[in-house]
Structure 1
Amino acid sequence: MLRRVLRWISGGVLLIVLLLVLGTVVPRPFFADDANGAKDREILLLSNPIHTDIALRVDDDLRLVFAELQEGGIAVNHPAAAYLVFGWGGRSFYIQTPTWADLKPMPVLRSFTLDSSVMHVDVTGDFPADLAGVKRLRISEAGYQRLVAGIRASFARNDDRIEVVSGAAYGLTDAFFEANGWFNAVAGCNTWSAAMLREAGMRTGWWTPLPPLLRWSIDLHN
């Protein structure tokens, strides 16, 4: 009986490893799109061991597109604002786990089942060129506009207005907003980042649920 259980566990682990490898090395989309134009725009992929964000440099056009964030407490118009940072994730885990020290069993459990989603937005200054966890990516103007539209469409709306999650923030410069879609460990924050990067004209792995897999697939397929 014990041997059978161990075989099942070993088989399950091997299957997960195989899916992760295939999810990284199989490109999505399968064929590259060469019609995106000159890559004049730079965006940032920010990552820690479990989560990725996308950062866009603040300019007048971006301020106009996301002007409504100002009402939610995001200082889009602050003269020192250099980047808007966007991340999508599960409500329970994302809001209740600002640091590893805040890790609790119930949010972790919700992340492995099904949870509603939120958008986390922060406004920051510039990032040092050699800062760990920052990957600089070049995309076309057309890809950039699709990316901005994809991020904007990720916000849930009520009467065409975004909805801030009251009392939910990590600090003084960020806020959480209601988002579209459902979250779980299979389709989580990093698969959202991958989908946004594909909107921008980049190729990613077919399924990249962890930040290292997403970064490796970007290097592999672009």
Structure 2
Amino acid sequence: MKRILRGAGSVLGAAMLLLVAYGAAGMAGGAMPRNVGWAQPSDGVRILVESNGVHTDLVLPKLAAGVDWRDLLPGDDLADPRYAGFDHVAIGWGERTFYLETPTWADVRPLTVLRAAVGSDRTVLHVEHVAMPAAADDARTVVLRPEEYRRLAAFVRASFAGRQAWHRTGYGRNDAFYQARGRYSAIETCNAWTGDALRAAGVRIGAWTPFPVTVLGWFAPPRYRARDGS
């Protein structure tokens, strides 16, 4: 019995060490800048990078810089097509089971995370039709030049498996899931995809961004005004 307990302790210790090493590597990768010469312009296409604590999304205008998302993401895909009247879409990429079953941290199950981390080709894009969100602690505003926004949009569009691919309505009445390209793993997480998209646009961000903080940490938090306007 003691031998079994010692063996279980060794496995648990190794697992904890692996998690710590993974966390440290992720934070280090997120701190190593790419596109170091980039700076936000004073004027351009305004997008948002937001997080629910598990997944990060890119909140993009439906019509900007010659990009039109309405053909790819029509209202007919929603449980309530009226939400297609909103002028932005929030798009995130991830592993199918992980995404469908973990809308918040309260829904996260270790086995679901482990299965996704080992690797899965069952990837999806989650799309919400939204109005541009207000400033919040879990969101960052990023201003892109028109050509940067077009590069970002091209990266995101290339992640869709196609209009004829699997899709289903989402968590609520204004969102849907679509079959995606790419393989999910502990290396290529939903947040790493967000970083990849921003990096492809030319934005200054970390070399590897597996966690929400490694994405949002590159952008200034919102500034709030006091009630008296100061």
**TM interval, short-chain normalised:** 0.7 to 0.9
Instruction: Evaluate the alpha carbon distance shift between residue 195 and residue 75 of structure 1 in structure 2; reply closer, same or farther with a 3 A threshold.
Output: farther
The sequence identity of aligned pairs, in percent, is 30
**Which of 162, 165, 179 lines up with 1:163 in the alignment?**
165
Separation (CA, whole Å) in 1 of partners of 2:207 and 2:97 = 26
**What is the rounded CA distance, in whole Å, between the counterparts of 1:22 and 1:98 in structure 2?**
27
Distance verdict in 2 for CA 1:178–1:13, change over 3 Å: closer
Equivalent in the alignment of 1:154: 159
Give the Cα–Cα distance (whole angstroms) in 2 for the partners of residues 84 and 199 of structure 1. 19
Shift of the 45–174 alpha-carbon distance from structure 1 to 2, 3 Å rule, reads same
Q: 1:197 is aligned with what amino acid?
A: L
> Is 1:51 paired with 2:55?
yes
Residue range with higher mean Cα deviation, 143-152 or 59-68:
59-68
Counterpart CA distance in 2 for 1:14 and 1:126 is 37
Q: Deviations over 1:75-123 (max 9, x none)?
A: 49844x0311100000011012223443345422322211220011010
> What is the TM-score of this pair, normalised by structure 1?
0.79
Unaligned runs of 5+ in 2: 221-230
Match of 1:23 in 2: 29
- 1:140-167 superposed Cα distances (whole Å, 9 cap, x missing partner): 110001111111111002xxx342423x
Which sections of structure 1, spanning at least 5 residues, go unmatched? none
In 1: Cα distance, 2:151 partner to 2:187 partner = 24
2:115 match: secondary structure: helix
Q: CA deviation at 1:133?
A: 1.0
SS of the residue 1:85 aligns to: strand
**Which residue does 1:98 correspond to in 2?**
103
Q: Secondary structure at the match of 1:53?
A: strand
Report how far residue 17 of structure 1 moved.
Answer: 4.7
Distance 1:13 1:69 in 2: 37
Tell me the equivalent position of 1:121: 127
Q: Which secondary structure does the structure 2 equivalent of 1:20 belong to?
A: helix
Distance verdict in 2 for CA 1:97–1:204, change over 3 Å = same
Give the secondary-structure state (helix, strand or coil) at the position aligned to 2:155: helix
Q: How many residues align?
A: 210
| 1:139 matched to 2:171 | no
**2:106 paired with 1:112:** no
Aligned to 1:180: 181
> What is the alpha-carbon distance in structure 1 between the residues aligned to residue 19 and residue 107 of structure 2?
28
TM-score computed with the length of structure 2 as normaliser? 0.77
Residue type at the aligned position of 1:174: D
- Cα distance in structure 2, aligned partners of 1:187 and 1:118: 13
Distance 1:38 1:72 in 2: 36
